[in-house]
């Protein structure tokens, strides 16, 4: 696996090293040793999937509040998405900065977001699916989010007029979050 720095402390875009031949390829998508060597979460509590029927669907920006903060390892297993993370960690030198990349079943890229990051994505194709490895169990009382169109963060979502849930539209702006 090739760990590419994102410019945000502790967050990585991970490229699998594919061993290819006439049959196709084989690649590791996660290795506890390599993650632990970099000081990254290497103990996953749950795995989840998100299937999205329509191009332009936008989900996020979501996170869990401490003490249930979660690291996420996200890859696209079908279709193509614009995947974004935002550093919300108090005291972080990269607080409030975002990073985004296109994840697809074809490119095999994986986004690693440490604890204290919000995560969201917009589908670039119909029938897109994401697979999540998550470091902490789901706690409904810890669910939080940040508005997808927050002007302070200004993530440049690629498609206009996204399909987005009422819940995500009602998420707070960054300026109203506690420090």
The residues annotated with a catalytic role in the active site are: 62, 132
**Quick one: CA torsion of 150, 160, 168, 9, rounded to 10 degrees?**
-50
Q: Tell me how far apart the alpha carbons of residues 126 and 159 are, in angstroms, rounded to a whole number.
A: 13
32: helix, strand or coil: helix
Radius of gyration of the chain from its Cα atoms, rounded to whole angstroms: 16
Are 118 and 85 within 8 A, CB to CB? yes
Compute φ and ψ for 125, nearest 5 degrees.
Answer: -145, 155
CB neighbours of residue 32 within 10 Å: 12
> Could you tell me the two tokens for 168?
């995500």
Terminal C-alpha separation, the chain: 35
């Amino acid at each position: 696996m090739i760990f590419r720095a994102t410019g945000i402390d502790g967050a990585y875009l991970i490229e699998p090293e594919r061993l290819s031949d006439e049959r196709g390829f084989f690649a590791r998508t996660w290795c506890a040793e390599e993650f632990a060597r970099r000081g990254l979460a290497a103990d996953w509590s749950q795995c989840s999937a998100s299937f999205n029927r329509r191009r332009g669907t936008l989900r996020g920006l979501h996170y869990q509040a401490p003490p249930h903060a979660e690291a996420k390892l996200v890859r696209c297993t079908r279709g193509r998405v614009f995947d974004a993370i935002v550093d919300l960690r108090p005291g972080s030198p990269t607080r409030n900065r975002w990073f985004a990349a296109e994840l697809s079943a074809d490119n095999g890229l994986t986004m690693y977001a440490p604890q204290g990051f919000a995560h969201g994505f917009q589908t670039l194709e119909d029938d897109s699916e994401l697979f999540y490895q998550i470091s902490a169990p789901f706690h409904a009382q810890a669910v939080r989010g940040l508005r997808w169109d927050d002007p302070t963060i200004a993530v440049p979502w690629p498609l206009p007029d996204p399909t987005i849930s009422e819940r995500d539209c009602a998420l707070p702006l960054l300026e109203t979050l506690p420090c």
